[in-house]
Amino acid sequence: MLKKFCKGENILSSLFNVRLNVALTFNAKPESQSCLPDRQAFPEIVPPNSNLDSFQQEKSMDTYAEWDTWETINAVKGAIEHFHNCTLVEADYTAFEKLKEVNPQIVFNIAEGFNGASREAQIPSMLDMLNIPYTGSDPLTLAICLDKARTKEILSYYKIPNSRFVVVDSPERAKDIDLRYPLIVKPVSEGSSKGIFSSSFVKDKAALINEAERILAEYNQAALVEEFLPGREFTVAILGNGSNAEVLPVIEINFNDFPNDFIPIYSYEAKWILDTKENPLDVFTCPARIDKGLEAKIKDTALRTYSALRCRDWSRIDIRLDGNNVPNIIEVNPLPGILPNPEENSCFPKAARSAGLNYDDMINKVLYVAAKRHKLL
């Protein structure tokens, strides 16, 4: 199926037999507001974890990590406008009224939402209420996938491998954990490596208690404590639905280029401090250099996960091998990061490029599979 969308064949233009009125829902990082010509249009900026008080928010330097920059928002809008009309709708407190007024035929949703563990579900819930179709997963899937523990419970039900874990919701609970060290401690409901630093890798009880307390205090949520998966790490982008869901070329995350004192995890430091536009880290190999057997196992595990969690249109699934080289699911991202600049190492666009889809093709392919699913085409 992918062949149909290869660059140079100008296939996308023939996919869309109608020009759709599309709205793009988003949350913009406040530091990128200066790029906005009309700042007044978006007066209210509230961070995703704004249930914290302002002191806690200052301490959480990664508060806005999951929101998008104007570079990304404009790139998505530009891609959509190759074939359709596109209206920007910021996912703020007035979003419901704006969506009702704009009344688009379909929404391209990249909004991360404002408060609480179900924040990614907010815009899709409004759209369900308004009966407006949208790209991507429904509120239920978005809310479940943002809770890594709930996700793992479902995966376990379907016998999809994932590391053993405990949810720690009080400092006391951290003291009697029966898991095999080393462990990794992360906030239960975050993305973009928020709260995951080198110190999240713990080898003993004292370090575990410290980390769990840090997460409970700074992120105002439970800590997910997991057994550490020691093997190679991959991330897998999936596009499409049902039997037409396709796995884009597998990406491997290599830790060889990391400084020696860095723990081999794709942490906040690795993602946003070590790897910069000026000094890009050579962390990704796409397609991953893996034998056919391992590739088949990774793809099968990713597709079973996509189906078990009822993901729609697109998602990115993080996988790591355990001590027996079995692919284990780390987490599922039904709203994958999509930085447009190839130097910024965003994985979904990277996998798409490797399959012959440039950024604009990728965005329009997501819109296409969503519009098809909603029977708009």
Binding site for ligand ATP (CB under 6 A): 163, 184, 186, 190-194, 196, 226, 228-229, 233, 265-266, 318, 320, 330-331, 333
Nearer to ligand ATP, 119 or 186 (CB): 186
Q: State both tokens at 351.
A: 């996998």
Report the partner that residue 5 touches, choosing among Mg ion, ligand ATP, none (CB closer than 5 to 8 A by kind): none
Distance from C-alpha of 10 to C-alpha of 239, rounded to nearest angstrom = 19
- Coil, strand or helix: which one is 193? coil
Output the smallest distance, CB 181 to ligand ATP, in A: 12
Report the partner that residue 121 touches, choosing among ligand ATP, Mg ion, none (CB closer than 5 to 8 A by kind): none
Nearer to Mg ion, 218 or 318 (CB): 318
Report the partner that residue 229 touches, choosing among ligand ATP, Mg ion, none (CB closer than 5 to 8 A by kind): ligand ATP
Our CA angle for 252, 258, 263, nearest 5°, is 90
Output the smallest distance, CB 161 to Mg ion, in A: 16
Phi-psi region of 159 (alpha: psi -120 to 50; beta: other; left: phi over 0): left
Report the partner that residue 283 touches, choosing among Mg ion, ligand ATP, none (CB closer than 5 to 8 A by kind): none
Output the smallest distance, CB 52 to ligand ATP, in A: 17
Distance from C-alpha of 287 to C-alpha of 331, rounded to nearest angstrom = 20
Nearer to Mg ion, 269 or 318 (CB): 318
Report the partner that residue 184 touches, choosing among Mg ion, ligand ATP, none (CB closer than 5 to 8 A by kind): ligand ATP
Report the partner that residue 162 touches, choosing among Mg ion, ligand ATP, none (CB closer than 5 to 8 A by kind): none
Residue from 160, 100, 130 nearest 303 by CA: 160
Nearer to ligand ATP, 135 or 192 (CB): 192
Output the smallest distance, CB 318 to Mg ion, in A: 4
Output the smallest distance, CB 227 to Mg ion, in A: 17
Report the partner that residue 189 touches, choosing among Mg ion, ligand ATP, none (CB closer than 5 to 8 A by kind): none
Output the smallest distance, CB 264 to Mg ion, in A: 14
Output the smallest distance, CB 53 to Mg ion, in A: 28
Q: Are residues 348 and 286 in contact, defined by beta-carbon separation less than 8 angstroms?
A: no
Nearer to ligand ATP, 48 or 104 (CB): 48
DSSP H stretches of helix in the chain:
12-15, 54-59, 70-80, 95-102, 122-130, 139-146, 148-157, 205-219, 268, 292-308, 347-354, 359-373
Nearer to ligand ATP, 266 or 284 (CB): 266
Distance from C-alpha of 345 to C-alpha of 55, rounded to nearest angstrom = 32
Residues that bind Mg ion (CB under 5 A): 318
Nearer to Mg ion, 104 or 264 (CB): 264
Tell me: cis bond preceding 287? Omega within 30 of 0 counts. yes
Report the partner that residue 155 touches, choosing among Mg ion, ligand ATP, none (CB closer than 5 to 8 A by kind): none
Output the smallest distance, CB 235 to ligand ATP, in A: 7
What helix, strand, coil percent values describe the chain, rounded to 5? 40, 15, 45
Nearer to ligand ATP, 26 or 228 (CB): 228
As to burial, measured by CB atoms within 10 angstroms (0-12 exposed, 13-18 middle, 19+ buried), residue 3 is exposed
Could you give the dihedral angle defined by the CA atoms of residues 28, 30, 31 and 32, in that order, rounded to the nearest 10 degrees?
Answer: 30
* Number of neighbours of residue 16 by Cβ within 10 angstroms: 17
